[in-house]
Structure 1
Amino acid sequence: MSGPAVDRRLQGEGATPLAGVGTVVWYRPDDSVDLDEPPEDVDPEAELARFEEASETARTELEREREETRERVGEEEAEVFGAHLQFLSDPMIEDGVEAAVTDDGLPAPHAVRAAFAGPIEQFEGMDGRMKERADDLRDVRDRLLRILTGAERVDLRSLPEGSVVFAERLTPSDTAQLDPAVVAGFVTATGGRTSHAAIFARSLALPAVVGVGAGLYEVDEGTEVVVDGDTGEVVLNPTEETRARASGGLDAPVREAPVETSDGKEIEVAANVGRPAEIEAAVERGADGVGLYRSEFLFVDRDAPPGEAEQYEAYRDALDAFPDGRVVVRTLDIGGDKPVPYLDLPEEENPFLGDRGIRRSLGNDADLFETQLRALLRAAAAGAGDLAVMLPLVSTVEEVRAARTRLEAVASALDEAGVDHAIPEFGVMIETPAAVLMGPDLASEVDFFSIGTNDLAQYVMAAARGNERVSELRDFRQPAVIRAIRETVRAAEGTECWVGMCGEMAGDPDLTELLLGLGLDELSMSAVTVPAVKQRVTAVDTDEARELATHVASASTKEQVVDRLTSQGESP
């Protein structure tokens, strides 16, 4: 007589604080591209022409997928495809293909495989995030091979409901196809929490476990599994009890009310949103409000800008979704990596350092800015929640004063027209080193700061977003980034200016104690991580957190930062 069912478990690294139950579907993209032995004679000119044509097709695909990902997943995730475009035109790859064709006599597909082999091996030999960049190269290589060979692309958009995708690895192109309404989760043999697949999983709110290892290959297609993206466990043939727990959610409990630290300091935990569906998800996950409303999503994927009435309704809907909370709307942040067809955006050598954000709102897009301010001030009076307006990419006091003058002029015009309106809170994003250094002056001009760690890390470390070669420098745990955050908080001390954070760093529960110790009043993140961060807040003692922050901020290397976080019980 057989005994009771016993769970069999595999251990990896959890990528999301979510759990799911489903059936294994193996994804083996390498099976779709099979190269025969190369012929003895090839026409080098013809093969190089084939490669150039395939590169152009790949470039078109990547640009389309970047826009689709920006709309469906998020702007940070869409940057991955910008990095792939860089790899596609990398001279090392192009020269490698040319040498393999002209010197070694290989046809284009074999030359592509040969040219990518060395760089992939080189990244594989590195540590941390740099090692995971090998997957980006594989993604670009496999795309070129598929185009050159005419192989069919495996369609991950058409998986059966309740699928749990098992794979050796998932590239960004793969993960971007997954539909959270159908897929119950994914598990990979390789990768870590900072891999692109893991980052996409958090944005898509997909349960995911990565880095399980060779034991994953022993699991058969069709096996029922539980994916616990919090603990990193994958449970095979789970018992009824395990299935029930997972179906009910193994992630942190949703807390609808605001939370306090263990010694009674209330911390606002908000969500970053851009689309109506994200607002709904933020409410469901217990967000206290919206810490970053990306208003540019109202302006993209259309032939003309939204009018005042359309914007008013969108802002009011967000305010009504959080009647007891605050909604922070970032004014139009166009430029950089956010092209808009109907605007006359300049072609710039480095658009991230160019005409973008508040610079355009005070310049070429002044009319759009005024219309947006009219809609915001009207919504501030009509919506149930509290509205705050935030300026992007501020570098000078003059920009802030000019923007406030525009806002006051709009308010006066509404007064004269007898239109109901209200003056919202007025703040700035801290994204540039200039804003950090001018913090004491800016704090006297505004009601709040919101630290955008994604851009702040880029500018502080001179390491461009989308350039994977310098991704290690953009790590939030770099001492310079942590000190920039500390100085921003210090600049606001003794004033009425509160300080929040709306970058990806805010959504990492392992960094919550550090951030509260540095003195942040608000944290805003992807909705999926709100429950886990709220739970972590309740366990923080403010005095102990301050001691940790002092210890960490005094570190002179990233390795020391990681060690000091680890020694306090934090995960690196």
Structure 2
Amino acid sequence: MYEGTGKPVFAGVAIGPVQLYRPAQRQLPASSGDPAAEQALFDAARETARTQLSELYEKTLQEIGEEQAMILDVQIMMLDDEDFLTGVRERIAAGDSAARAARDAGEEFSAAFAALDDPYMQARAVDIRDMAERVVTILCGGDGGIRITRPCILVAEDLTPSETVQLPREKILAFVTRQGSANSHIAVLARILNIPSLVQASLELDGALDGKTMIVDGFTGRYYIDPDEATLAAMTGKRDEAAQARQQLEAYRGVPTVSRSGRRIQLLANIGSPEDVPAVLEGDAEGVGLLRSEFMYLGRDALPTEEELFEGYRRVVEQLGGRPLVIRTLDIGADKQADYLGLDKEENPALGYRGIRICLTREDIFRPQMRAIYRASAFGPVSVMFPMIISVQEVRRIKAFCARIREELAAEGVPVGQVELGIMIETPAAAVISADLAKEVQFFSVGTNDLTQYTLAIDRQNARLDEFYDPHHPAVLALLRTIVENAHAAGIWAGICGELGADPTLTETFLQMGYDELSVSPGRVLELRKIICESEV
């Protein structure tokens, strides 16, 4: 028996034969020496890719659902992205083959997203690379499919979004990949399918793995290959218990989130775009506690118009059908490579020109967004929160700006709703002065990812520092307690929208601290509701 570890993305136990997937090696064709001919090859391959993705979109929509299908819709749009097309044209003109130009331009475009601070937006870099790789594969004469004939545990270096959605879901017992993250598409699909899976697994992709019996423990992050009888018996029992526990969670669908002592807390969901709303409803979340605005700004060559922003926000409001929506204003920074913003490269972008610092100094960005948010509020309950706050002065400037926007819209006869103004507490500065900030706003939402990073002075994207990165650090927990106490002292509510909100080992701690809301991945809502409803706190 051999055992190893990985990062679990969905709890549970899977047992079955390994199917190893390794993409076929391919040789990029050399340039014909005729740029016009190479450009024609690229254009034809791009149209073939469009046809393939459109067919795959329809299949995915029917078999898996809108959330995963929209991955492909985004890739179809990316085929027309001017930054990508310009990169290809310039490389072909410089003498590259169509295949090499598509690959290199895709990697450059993908790197822009991979450099983002937000893990959700980082994961979208894979969409871009996948789109470009599809074009390259077509130019190389391949089809890139995965063929699975029996139920298996799929083991791979990584899986692209289009590979992921093509998988026969009924035959996948678990995923195990050497790369990937908690926000990658393979992780998202694992949560949708409710199958235990591991990413970043310490595993050699040896051909001898094919067909061997494997156990994946999504609770502990361990896997076992060729398990002995005792391990197999123990893990079979654990698998059966987990399946029964998942079924029992359905008893909490539609149930008020109230502890045994009568403590009420809202369970909302974090999303990245309107396409994520169906998962919110399926997960039985009570609303959306974090809508990231970046989806409207990235992967384009110009700022979105007020009308585009309004339509995006309105779609979410209407789909939620009266459930609350909290929109985070644009949290983009100098590391995010949105060329049309004209941002300079920075040595330390996490501490640089980002979030509210951009909005307060770029009215051309802030004004259309706030007008769109206020207009969308006429269609349902909307609140707005502002990221990267460090001072009372910033908040007062924001409030004055928002008051002017409301006055403008009123003068124009445009209907608006009652929009609560809140702030993200994600810097130690904001946490320390939260008593003063609470007097200025109507709610706090704690971004625990950045708060932990800044408090511990550890880059959370640096894998070499994982052993030092401790989101349960006493300093972080002390700040969380201070934040909610200061909020309540001023008569406002406080929630958590960072990853810690979904940590079941801290749910009762947050109840004890007095938090009013937790906003988490849609698939975690029922699990947390059960913990809360059974709690004596």
TM class by smaller structure: 0.5 to 0.7
Q: Report what 2:493 is aligned to.
A: 498
Deviation track 1:290-333 (CA, whole Å, cap 9, x = no partner) reads 11100111111112222222222221222223234211000111
Matches within 5 A, 1:309-324: 309-324=307-322
1:166, CA displacement in angstroms? 3.9
Q: Report what 1:332 is aligned to.
A: 330
Q: 1:462 aligns with which of 454, 457, 479?
A: 457
Q: 2:353 aligns with which of 326, 330, 355?
A: 355
Q: 2:379 aligns with which of 368, 378, 382?
A: 382
Q: 2:291 aligns with which of 289, 293, 296?
A: 293
CA contact (8 A) 1:430 1:436 kept: yes
1:263 aligns with 2:248: no
Alpha-carbon distance between aligned partners in 1 of 2:166 and 2:523, rounded to the nearest angstrom:
14
1:367 aligns with 2:357: no
Alpha-carbon distance between aligned partners in 2 of 1:376 and 1:515, rounded to the nearest angstrom:
30
Alpha-carbon distance between aligned partners in 1 of 2:494 and 2:484, rounded to the nearest angstrom:
6
Q: 1:186 aligns with which of 174, 177, 182?
A: 174
Q: Report what 2:20 is aligned to.
A: 27
CA contact (8 A) 2:442 2:492 kept: yes
CA contact (8 A) 1:361 1:369 kept: yes
Which residue identity is paired with 1:305? L
Alpha-carbon spacing, 1:315–1:199, altered in 2? closer, same or farther (3 Å)? closer
Alpha-carbon distance between aligned partners in 2 of 1:404 and 1:531, rounded to the nearest angstrom:
36
CA contact (8 A) 2:270 2:289 kept: yes
1:488, CA displacement in angstroms? 1.0
Alpha-carbon distance between aligned partners in 2 of 1:406 and 1:289, rounded to the nearest angstrom:
27
1:393 aligns with 2:391: no
2:444 partner SS: strand
1:339, CA displacement in angstroms? 2.7
CA contact (8 A) 1:66 1:78 kept: no
Q: Report what 1:125 is aligned to.
A: none
1:178, CA displacement in angstroms? 5.6
Matches within 5 A, 1:107-186: 158-160=146-148, 164-167=152-155, 173-174=158-159, 179=164, 182=167, 183=169, 184-186=172-174
Q: Report what 2:8 is aligned to.
A: 15
Which residue identity is paired with 1:398? Q
CA contact (8 A) 1:426 1:446 kept: yes
CA contact (8 A) 1:21 1:247 kept: no
Deviation track 1:72-96 (CA, whole Å, cap 9, x = no partner) reads xx941665899xxxxxxxxxxxxxx
Alpha-carbon distance between aligned partners in 2 of 1:349 and 1:277, rounded to the nearest angstrom:
34
Q: 1:221 aligns with which of 186, 192, 211?
A: 211
CA contact (8 A) 1:21 1:226 kept: yes
**More off after superposition, 400-409 vs 276-285:** 276-285
1:303 partner SS: coil
Alpha-carbon distance between aligned partners in 2 of 1:371 and 1:80, rounded to the nearest angstrom:
27
Deviation track 1:31-68 (CA, whole Å, cap 9, x = no partner) reads 979xxxxxxxxxxxxxxxxxxxxxx9999776555567
Deviation track 1:329-384 (CA, whole Å, cap 9, x = no partner) reads 001111154332211112111111111100110102x122111111111111123x
**More off after superposition, 350-359 vs 20-29:** 20-29
2:467 partner SS: helix
Alpha-carbon distance between aligned partners in 1 of 2:309 and 2:245, rounded to the nearest angstrom:
37
Alpha-carbon distance between aligned partners in 2 of 1:157 and 1:19, rounded to the nearest angstrom:
28
CA contact (8 A) 1:62 1:81 kept: no
Alpha-carbon spacing, 1:177–1:66, altered in 2? closer, same or farther (3 Å)? farther
Q: Report what 1:40 is aligned to.
A: none
Deviation track 1:549-570 (CA, whole Å, cap 9, x = no partner) reads xxxxxxxxxxxxxxxxxxxxxx
CA contact (8 A) 1:14 1:230 kept: no
Which residue identity is paired with 1:76? P
Matches within 5 A, 1:202-241: 202-206=187-191, 207-210=195-198, 221=211, 229=218
Q: Report what 2:471 is aligned to.
A: 476
Alpha-carbon spacing, 1:303–1:209, altered in 2? closer, same or farther (3 Å)? closer
Alpha-carbon distance between aligned partners in 1 of 2:461 and 2:165, rounded to the nearest angstrom:
25
Which residue identity is paired with 1:27? L
CA RMSD of aligned residues (A): 4.3
Q: Report what 1:305 is aligned to.
A: 303
Alpha-carbon spacing, 1:185–1:467, altered in 2? closer, same or farther (3 Å)? same
CA contact (8 A) 1:337 1:351 kept: yes
Alpha-carbon distance between aligned partners in 2 of 1:510 and 1:175, rounded to the nearest angstrom:
32
Deviation track 1:85-134 (CA, whole Å, cap 9, x = no partner) reads xxxxxxxxxxxxxxxxxxxxxxxxxxxxxxxxxxxxxxxxxxxxxxxxxx
Alpha-carbon spacing, 1:480–1:66, altered in 2? closer, same or farther (3 Å)? farther
CA contact (8 A) 1:390 1:428 kept: yes
Alpha-carbon distance between aligned partners in 1 of 2:143 and 2:448, rounded to the nearest angstrom:
34
1:185, CA displacement in angstroms? 4.8
1:199, CA displacement in angstroms? 6.0
Which residue identity is paired with 2:325? V
1:513, CA displacement in angstroms? 1.5
Deviation track 1:173-194 (CA, whole Å, cap 9, x = no partner) reads 4476762563535354x99xxx
CA contact (8 A) 1:453 1:503 kept: yes
TM-score, normalised with respect to structure 2 = 0.67
Alpha-carbon distance between aligned partners in 1 of 2:320 and 2:454, rounded to the nearest angstrom:
33
Alpha-carbon spacing, 1:255–1:178, altered in 2? closer, same or farther (3 Å)? farther
2:525 partner SS: helix
Alpha-carbon spacing, 1:296–1:17, altered in 2? closer, same or farther (3 Å)? same
Alpha-carbon spacing, 1:21–1:474, altered in 2? closer, same or farther (3 Å)? closer
Which residue identity is paired with 2:8? A
Which residue identity is paired with 2:291? Y
Alpha-carbon spacing, 1:282–1:69, altered in 2? closer, same or farther (3 Å)? farther
2:383 partner SS: strand
Which residue identity is paired with 1:372? Q
Alpha-carbon distance between aligned partners in 1 of 2:144 and 2:243, rounded to the nearest angstrom:
24
Alpha-carbon distance between aligned partners in 2 of 1:28 and 1:158, rounded to the nearest angstrom:
8
Report % sequence identity. Answer: 33
1:429 partner SS: strand
Alpha-carbon spacing, 1:409–1:250, altered in 2? closer, same or farther (3 Å)? same
CA contact (8 A) 2:500 2:506 kept: yes
Alpha-carbon distance between aligned partners in 2 of 1:396 and 1:434, rounded to the nearest angstrom:
8
